[in-house]
Structure 1
Amino acid sequence: MGLLLGGRKATGAGAKAREEKARRTSKARNSAKRQLDYIGYDAMYKNGIAQVEEGLFSQTVEFSDISYQSARRDAQENIFSVLSSLYNYFNADTSVQLSIANTPIPADVIGSKRFFRHVADVDDGLVDEYNRILNDKLREGVSNLERHRHLTYMVGADDVDAATPKLARIRADVCQTLARIRCDARPVDGEERLRAMDSIVRPKKRFEFSWDKLSQFRGLRTKNLIAPNLMDFAPEGRADCFESDGVFGSVLAIRDFGSMLEDYYLANIIDLPIPLVVTLHIQPIAQSDALAMVKRQLDWMDKEIIDEQMAAVKKGYDYSILPPELRYSKEEAEELLDFLRNKNERLFVYTGLVYTYADSLEELDRQVEQVVSVAQGNSLGIVGLDYRQKHALNSMLPLGRNHVNVSRHLTTGQIAMQMPFASQELNQEGGGYYGQSKQSGNLVICNRKRLASPMGFVCGKPGSGKSFSVKREILNTVLAFP
């Protein structure tokens, strides 16, 4: 199906006044001189609800990875169907943001992580030796990244008390929908949301937030504990990047797609062994507004066709021959109208952003080249956001608010095709060591108590290590659950 281009946001009639007010607030925020005024929210509550702007509240759900790329065809179709129903669930008064973040494991943790603790009746030397072996394996990781997936939704309400039941209803429906594909989802509390924002505005800095600190000093806000000391949006005179506390970052925009969208396009970018954040802003359009917009485009195309035919008759040409671009555009619009009317598709305003950061401008340029190269190999056009890095960085925060005016219209299927699931990493709390991922080199730590069925068997040819595998399983169990 063809892509319908567009850059103007369509909203419901009840949200237009709020949209105009939000536009003024966004303009004032992005022109702020202080970092505290720049960070794109007004208040953060312990339960995870954020007041983004006056009358706008958002909440974030974190969901786990699932095996998609290696799943059978019918399982992939089921995942695609569930994601389509998830996006169709949101109405025109709700903004949705999907974020996938590759966050580096802190350097002081690599090589010194304590996988198992000293317990009674177990030799301390054995525990220390096993921890040393696993830390050596941890250093071998190609990326040493932790991956987090967040779905943020924003609604309009007069105050936080009115927003709470709305957000709770959406949260329950989202978690229930994702559970249909065995994807664990849970709401993120206020401290975890602040940690996610801190890793974006202050990458590679230690997160030291505590709610107790707010009560010790009068007038202290959550922004004070995550705001960087220095932000420069023109480092060395460049307009395509920024500097935040000594770390250089750049936000890129997904502008073009190929003629056909594939489900591995986004996964190939997410699988890059570099620190990055991929964010998709999705604004649903009311079905009646979407149909009216497509019909207006068809009417305009019919007028253009009539004008072309009349000009061809006057010049003595065959009036049935139309310019290829006009002919293809009408076919795409007619196909889109059919999808909206008969195939349970909806129309969304879509903005795709990719953010990466590094310790130097040279390293940042190499990472940007990696992202652009992988995107071009997958028929994706990614461009820099010159002179718009300030707006773009705010749009990367998991708050549900888009400040970048680079968008296009996509249907439900085209958005659901951009799978947030890449190579699955297993790093479960309280689990045992089972090897290393072939793709990333990261450790595979699995807690079998969390599996649907913790039972299993070991098979292999003679000498392949079956007995050693079972002994390692016994040792994992003894150390984790003495």
Structure 2
Amino acid sequence: DGIFQFGSKFSKTIRFSDINYAIASKEDKTSMFLGYSELLNALDTGSTTKLTINNKRLNRQDFEQKILLPRQDDYLDGYRAEYNAMLMDKVTDSSNSVVQERYITLSVHRKSIEEARAFFDRVTADVTTRLSHLDAHSEELDAVERLRVLHDFYRTGEETEFHVDLRDLMRKGHSFKDSICPDSLEFKKDYFVMGDKFGRVLFLKEYASYIKDSMISELTALNRTMMLSIDVIPVPTDEAVREMQNRLLGVETNVTNWQRRQNSNNNFSAVVPYDLEQQRKETREMLDDLTTRDQRMMFAVVTLVHLADSKEELDSDTDALQSAARKHLCQLSTLNWQQADGLVTALPLGLRRIDALRTLTTEALAVLMPFKAQEVRDQGGVYYGQNVISKNLIIANRKELLNGNGFVLGVSGSGKSFTAKREMVNLALSTDDDIIVIDPESEYRPLIEGLGGEVVNISATSPNHINAMDMEQGYGDGENPVVLKSEFLLSLCEQLMGDRLLSAKEKSIIDRCTANVYHSYIKGGYQG
């Protein structure tokens, strides 16, 4: 069921989707920020939580299987090949061929698996509900899916070769570790070698007094396989308040002692030194946050592991990451002689072996926002463009929506017709759907003829006409069909003659004639 056990510690992982935070308006960002703060506030104090952002390289073979149009051995295969070449160009030329997955890993100490299951049933339901309030879809990972996350990290480039059947392995007496672990793992002072990949674990050493909410998304924007984890240990509010009251009492005592020393030297007008005043102010603010502003005290540590193909590339990537952190006045440092512990901490296992904890309030922790922009990649969907933020393809399937209708809006020259034509081509090449185009300006004719469609001209001079008297089986949906047809013909004649030019006598004639025309075709007949 996806619960991992390490000694007396149990952990469970929830995968959740991204939300459109980076492109939201200021009001929407504030709402999302407060919703995320509520999620952090709701974390159980008896457990620890790990938020992980996993950058996975887009597996080309897997992508081709899901997105590209298969050959169907008809006259449109040439168009399909051109369409597929365009899609592959978009993937390879784009600045980002990485897909991001996000996990919340909950871990707790319990005496037995039954107690752990009861705990996770309660807590995962609460976390899932709060994520849904943020419009983030979430799902609990089972054992095989959690092992797949580890496999895809340890064996980058071999994602399609993951085949783990736990029952089959138990029956044969094999260990699942053989198909997940890397071929070799060698830890050096400040990096590690994993198979033919080089990796390094960094941690956030210095925090700025003011951090922008874009820092985490900028750190994970690097086009490399990496995992960034934020470990959160909530402190019970009563303990936190008691601790801050003791701190404040200590600061006030220091201030009183300083003033007493000044008074004994007959210096009665001395101003309290800046550092003591600052300590007093910050401690009071922290106490106010905890008691009046519904903030929680939390311990947090941020770790990041990234992989590269060579040592030179690894050093270059590390410099880029440290530069991105410095831009926010923070310092990312390499873990020396702790690469193994750092790797275990960064992976979504639910373990923490790094003690570089920082005390933060809920708001200060919520600034480390894990959300960026939602990716749309539906199975069997059509190409709609590229995500503005991540540069990944937008592949959407409107048939999976509650309402699949759509319309195209835009100013003149913005590409409305092109968008409609592109969607028609996508559907014609990938599905057997019927496409009906009503085209007064004959704008779509070359496209339809090119795709082998049928063009029907309807005009006063064309050989094709619409028969106003046509009536099929079931016409009228249960109502009297002759009455409905009579009303239609009356309105048609009024359109031809002009409004209010038909007299009551002429309307009566049309009504009677309509009944007489269909009299012999309808069983039993209708009285006009």
TM-score under structure 2 length normalisation: 0.76
Among 303, 306, 316, the alignment partner of 1:366 is 316
Between 144-153 and 116-125, the greater mean CA deviation after superposition: 116-125
Is the counterpart of residue 473 in structure 1 residue 426 in structure 2? no
Partner residue in 1 for 2:169? 214
Say if 1:58 and 1:481 are closer, same or farther in 2 by CA, change over 3 A.
Answer: farther
Cα deviation, residue 117, structure 1: 3.2
1:460 and 1:221 map into 2 onto residues whose CA distance is: 58
Partner residue in 1 for 2:45? 92
Whether the 8 Å CA contact 2:67–2:380 is kept in 1: the answer is no
Q: Amino acid of the residue matched to residue 179 of structure 2?
A: L
Partner residue in 2 for 1:48? 2
2:390 and 2:46 map into 1 onto residues whose CA distance is: 40
Cα deviation, residue 470, structure 1: 0.8
Whether the 8 Å CA contact 1:100–1:277 is kept in 2: the answer is yes
Partner residue in 2 for 1:393? 343
The structure showing larger relative contact order (alpha-carbon pairs under 8 Å, at least 6 residues apart) is: 1
2:153 and 2:273 map into 1 onto residues whose CA distance is: 47
Partner residue in 2 for 1:229? 183
Where do 1:70-469 residues align within 5 Å?
A: 70-106=23-59, 108=61, 114-118=67-71, 123-206=76-159, 207-211=161-165, 214-215=169-170, 217-218=172-173, 220-234=174-188, 239-315=189-265, 317=267, 320-451=270-401, 453-469=403-419
2:113 and 2:157 map into 1 onto residues whose CA distance is: 32
Whether the 8 Å CA contact 1:63–1:149 is kept in 2: the answer is yes
Cα deviation, residue 367, structure 1: 0.6
Whether the 8 Å CA contact 1:119–1:479 is kept in 2: the answer is no
Partner residue in 2 for 1:34? none
1:136 and 1:130 map into 2 onto residues whose CA distance is: 10
2:324 and 2:95 map into 1 onto residues whose CA distance is: 18
Q: Amino acid of the residue matched to residue 266 of structure 1?
A: I
1:467 and 1:294 map into 2 onto residues whose CA distance is: 64
Deviations 1:134-193 (A, max 9, x none): 122221121200100111111233222332232122222211111112111111122221
Say if 1:169 and 1:477 are closer, same or farther in 2 by CA, change over 3 A.
Answer: farther
Between 321-330 and 246-255, the greater mean CA deviation after superposition: 321-330
2:327 and 2:69 map into 1 onto residues whose CA distance is: 43
1:172 and 1:96 map into 2 onto residues whose CA distance is: 15
List runs of 5+ in structure 2 lacking aligned partners: 433-528
Whether the 8 Å CA contact 1:230–1:245 is kept in 2: the answer is yes
Whether the 8 Å CA contact 1:110–1:139 is kept in 2: the answer is no
Whether the 8 Å CA contact 2:228–2:305 is kept in 1: the answer is yes
1:359 and 1:401 map into 2 onto residues whose CA distance is: 27
Q: Identity over the aligned pairs, expressed in percent? A: 29
- State the secondary structure of the residue aligned to 1:196: helix
1:73 and 1:439 map into 2 onto residues whose CA distance is: 17
Cα deviation, residue 453, structure 1: 4.8
How large is the Cα RMSD of the aligned pairs?
A: 2.4
Whether the 8 Å CA contact 2:76–2:429 is kept in 1: the answer is no
List runs of 5+ in structure 1 lacking aligned partners: 1-46
Cα deviation, residue 326, structure 1: 2.4
Q: Amino acid of the residue matched to residue 11 of structure 2?
A: S
1:146 and 1:66 map into 2 onto residues whose CA distance is: 14
2:89 and 2:25 map into 1 onto residues whose CA distance is: 35
Q: Which protein shows a greater Rg?
A: 2
Question: Across the two proteins, how many residue pairs are aligned to each other?
Answer: 430
Between 220-229 and 118-127, the greater mean CA deviation after superposition: 118-127
- State the secondary structure of the residue aligned to 1:170: helix
